[in-house]
């Protein structure tokens, strides 16, 4: 009788052990399976768009520009777009929740399950918190901060152009198209934004420093920030970026 009890106990402990190990491995798997949200941070012209698109291809994650999303919703006159337009017409800022609604609407429609790369959002600590609430702890956040010197930034911005059709960015000095003024990918004309001048850039930098720098501190405190030296060539910066992500 005693032997049977000992055998039973042994069996029970083994079974519990197996169940426990299984639980452990599946919870580990869940952490790994969490969707990855990469947030591109950095002053305008630091290369967020270019590197975000490159990274998107490498990680096989969609690159979402909230600016493009915004314009698309307004153009297609979606309910969210109409609502956004109301605020714009009244000269008010669109509320953070509306931008988040557009973002999650887009994610749901496209069934993005593994994560995405965000370009242009969040811009403020308040927006970061709104995003975090909506993600509800289901995603791993990495904020990539592209750090760049002001003089180089000015040089970059005043030389940048973009495809009028597919929005591929180019730079006449640092990343010129094969044929001047023409998109390599689709053959459409390239254009320069009217506000890509030294004066406007300096104004934008002041706004950026006031608004977005606290965001860098915010992610830093949460241990979700990766700083990238963005002062080199495209290749060097991208290589720095991969190192920061532990991908190289």
Which positions are annotated as active-site residues? 48, 123, 160, 193, 204
- Closer residue to Zn ion in complex, CB, 61/161: 161
φ, ψ of residue 224 to 5 degrees: the values are: -115, 10
- Closer residue to Zn ion in complex, CB, 67/181: 181
- Closer residue to Zn ion in complex, CB, 142/183: 183
CB of 192 to Zn ion, least distance (A): 15
CB of 123 to Zn ion, least distance (A): 27
DSSP 9-63: HHHHHHHHHHHHHHHHHHHHHHHHHSEEEEEEE-STTSSHHHHHHHHHHHHT--E
CB of 161 to Zn ion, least distance (A): 11
Tell which residue, 245, 236, 214, has the closest CA to residue 123.
214
CB of 188 to Zn ion, least distance (A): 5
- Closer residue to Zn ion in complex, CB, 84/163: 163
Using a 10 angstrom Cβ sphere, with 0-12 exposed, 13-18 middle and 19 or more buried, the burial of residue 40 is buried
**CA–CA separation, 179 vs 181, rounded Å?**
6
* Binding interface with Zn ion (CB under 5 A): 163, 165-166, 168, 183, 185-186, 188
């Amino acid at each position: 009788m005693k032997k049977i009890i000992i055998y039973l106990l042994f069996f029970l402990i083994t079974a519990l052990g197996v169940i426990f190990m299984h639980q452990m491995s599946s919870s580990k798997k869940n952490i790994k399976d969490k969707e990855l949200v990469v947030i591109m941070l950095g002053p305008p012209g630091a290369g967020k768009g270019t590197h975000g698109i490159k990274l998107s291809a490498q990680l096989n994650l969609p690159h979402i520009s909230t600016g493009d999303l915004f314009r698309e919703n307004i153009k297609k006159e979606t309910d969210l777009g109409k609502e956004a337009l109301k605020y714009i017409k009244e000269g008010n800022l669109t509320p953070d929740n509306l931008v988040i609604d557009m973002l999650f609407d887009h994610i749901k429609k496209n069934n993005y399950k593994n994560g995405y790369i965000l370009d242009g959002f969040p811009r403020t600590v308040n927006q970061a918190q709104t995003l975090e609430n909506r993600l509800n702890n289901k995603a791993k956040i990495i904020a990539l901060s592209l750090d760049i010197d002001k003089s180089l930034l000015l040089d970059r911005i005043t030389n940048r152009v973009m495809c009028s059709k597919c929005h591929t960015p180019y730079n006449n000095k640092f990343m010129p198209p094969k044929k001047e003024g023409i998109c390599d990918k689709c053959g459409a004309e390239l254009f320069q934004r009217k506000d890509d001048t030294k004066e406007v850039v300096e104004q934008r930098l002041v706004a950026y420093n006031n608004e977005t720098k606290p965001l860098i501190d915010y992610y830093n405190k949460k241990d979700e920030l990766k700083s990238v030296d963005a002062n080199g060539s495209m290749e060097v910066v991208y290589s720095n970026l991969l190192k920061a992500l532990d991908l190289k």
